[in-house]
Amino acid sequence: MTKVANEVKALAIEGGSKAVPMLGPFPTKLGKEELWELIDMWDFSPAKKEKIREILDGETNLQGPHLFRYYNPKPSRVATAEDAMRELIGTKYCLAVNSCTSALIASYRALGIGMGDEVIVPAYTFFASAAGVAASNAIPVIVEVDDSLTLDPEAAERAITRRTKAIVVVHMRGAAGQMDVLVDLAKRKGLPLVEDVAQAGGGSFRGKRLGGIGSVGCFSFDHYKVMSSGEGGFVTTNDEWLYTRAQSWHDTAACWRPDRFARERREGELFAGENYRMSELQGAVALAQIRKTDAMLAGYRRARDLIVAGIDKFPGLSFRRLTDPAGDTAICLIMFLPSPEVTRRAIEALHAEGVPAGGVYDSKVRDWHIYAYWEHVLETKSVAADGLPWTAVPRPELPKYSREMCPRTLDLLGRSVHIEINHHYSDEDCHSIARGINKVLHCLLK
Ligand SMILES: Cc1ncc(COP(=O)(O)O)c(C=O)c1O
């Protein structure tokens, strides 16, 4: 008999002593080194950094967080951010994801959109709204925007075919699409209305938050958005089935339903998905940002009102139509001038005055927000030899894509001057911006 066998008296399962009495406790995966990397990202003074370093060095057993939202021993920040977002937007369900592109694709897939289907998207939006359609193997149908710079409801209605499976309204540059007309159109046609709220987080239409009006809302929390966690996104909806399917798509169909390992409760609940999960780091930052949203919006709106009040009237000057001025996030002010030539000169002159002005469309400058540059779609590019999504329908039945297909959109965008608004602007900042605009427009539009 071996030594080990001699020592064994009784199996633990039969009341004997345990061979391994206890393992650990071990340090957590994340410790002070990881926390230091985070602290180092903030601009503390060197003296304060030194103090923090000393505190960290003095820690001998600092337990780091569990950065995965599921199976988390502590309340998940991602789940708390979902709760906060649900409350802010006023929907029954909310799902955190790692980007708005992911939110869009998860929503498209949850709506059952797939091969050979068509989805109506506006000609002015970041490419992701259309790319997500093609990545779902469906066909984006590009439609004009109107003077609100959001989807033109009449053009959208004309673009509906027997293949149409959804309409996407994009609340561009902080302001709502024509939600009353679009909700009515979607209802009449029995189509879901997807709200791309990437650029208008916190905005509203007639008292209802964007992302809580259509069938589903898709939010971006990338760096350039109203609320940001560097990268991140949310899906909001009142539809439990859509939420369940989006949740499955966002996590390889790991099926976080009430019971993760249960069999399908209903046809369409189980399928293979992808991984769009948000990490606890993003969740923590997103949570803080969601809580600040209304204060930030108040700052943007105050600044916008001061700037607008200070701008004189000029022949040939008009403003982007706001479908609900009170609900505009006011992250920017968009003015239309009489021609692209005057617009170009105005932007140069405004720049020289120090006004934070930019153009929206210049035929010589490539920009993924303008359909005319979406060669991926216009030239029906595909990632694989199967030619999808374009080969799913007979070629003559594909939309007639061309750079000129939405002339009204190009005309409006080519005459747009975009004034950036910061919610930290002082009164004097706003007055000087208005003064700069008046100075330039007096010369150019007299
Ligand atoms: C209108 C619109 N939709 C979708 C996206 C994609 O967002 P994300 O970067 O979070 O994927 C953006 C980002 O710029 C956007 O502006």
Atom of ligand 1 nearest to the CA of 128: 4
User: pLDDT tens-digit profile of 137-158?
Assistant: 999 999 999 999 999 999 999 9
Structure tokens at 380: 């029906």
Mean pLDDT of 102-131: 98
Q: Which of 101, 149, 168, 250 to mutate to test the pocket of ligand 1 (most atoms within 8 A of CB)?
A: 101
Our CA dihedral for 141, 146, 151, 154, rounded to 10 degrees, sits at -70
120 C-alpha to ligand 1 centroid (Å): 17
Q: Would you say the CB of residue 98 lies under 6 angstroms from ligand 1?
A: no
**C-alpha atoms less than 13 angstroms from C-alpha of 156 in its C-beta half-sphere:** 30
Residues 275, 254: Cα–Cα separation, whole Å: 9
Q: How far is the CA of 218 from the centre of ligand 1 (A)?
A: 9
pLDDT in tens, 240-258: 999 999 999 999 877 778 8
- Give kind and range of the element (H or E) at residue 142: strand 139-143
The Å distance, Cα 100 to ligand 1 centre, comes to 5
Q: Is the confidence at residue 217, as pLDDT, over 60?
A: yes
Whether 225 is a known active-site residue: answer yes
Using the predicted structure, report yes or no on whether residue 7 has a pLDDT greater than 70. Answer: no
**Rounded to an integer, what distance in angstroms lies between the CA atom of residue 140 and that of residue 390?**
10
Q: Give the mean pLDDT of 82-97.
A: 98
Per-residue pLDDT averaged across 19-31, rounded? 91
In the set 48, 225, 381, 400, the catalytic residue is 225
Nearest CA to ligand 1 atom 16: 126
Question: Is the per-residue pLDDT at 1 higher than 70?
Answer: no
Q: For position 122, what pLDDT does the model report? A: 98
Rounded to 10 degrees, the C-alpha dihedral 125/360/367/339 comes to 120
pTM of the model: 0.95
State yes or no: pLDDT of 131 exceeds 90.
yes
pLDDT of the residue at 9? 82
pLDDT-derived band of residue 5, with 50, 70 and 90 as boundaries? Answer: low
Average pLDDT, the chain: 95
What mean pLDDT comes out for the span 3-8?
56
Residue 27 pLDDT class (50, 70, 90 cuts): confident
What's the mean pLDDT in 359-387?
94
Q: Which two tokens stand for residue 243?
A: 């939420």
Select from 126, 170, 360 the residue to mutate for testing ligand 1; criterion: most ligand atoms less than 8 Å from CB.
126
Q: What is the pLDDT of residue 61?
A: 86
* Atom of ligand 1 at shortest range from CA of 104: 4
150 pocket-lining for ligand 1 (C-beta < 6 Å): no
**Confidence class of residue 4 from pLDDT cuts 50, 70 and 90?**
low
Tens of pLDDT along 317-345? 999 999 999 999 999 999 999 999 999 99
pLDDT per position as a tens digit, 45-63? 999 999 999 999 999 889 9
Q: Is the CB of 218 under 6 A from ligand 1?
A: no
pLDDT, position 256 = 79
- The answer on pLDDT for 3 being more than 70 is no
Q: Is 129 in the pocket of ligand 1 (CB under 6 A)?
A: yes
- pLDDT over 90 (residue 2): no
Identify which has the larger pLDDT, 9 or 273. Answer: 273
Q: Are 192 and 215 in contact (CB under 8 A)?
A: yes
Is the bond leading into 338 cis (omega within 30 degrees of zero)? Answer: no
Out of 15-19, 161-165, 334-338, pick the least confident. Answer: 15-19
Alpha carbon of 7 to ligand 1 centroid (Å)? 65
Percent helix, strand, coil in the chain, to 5, is 40, 15, 45
More confident position, 180 or 262:
180
Q: Is the peptide bond before 153 cis (omega within 30 degrees of 0)?
A: no
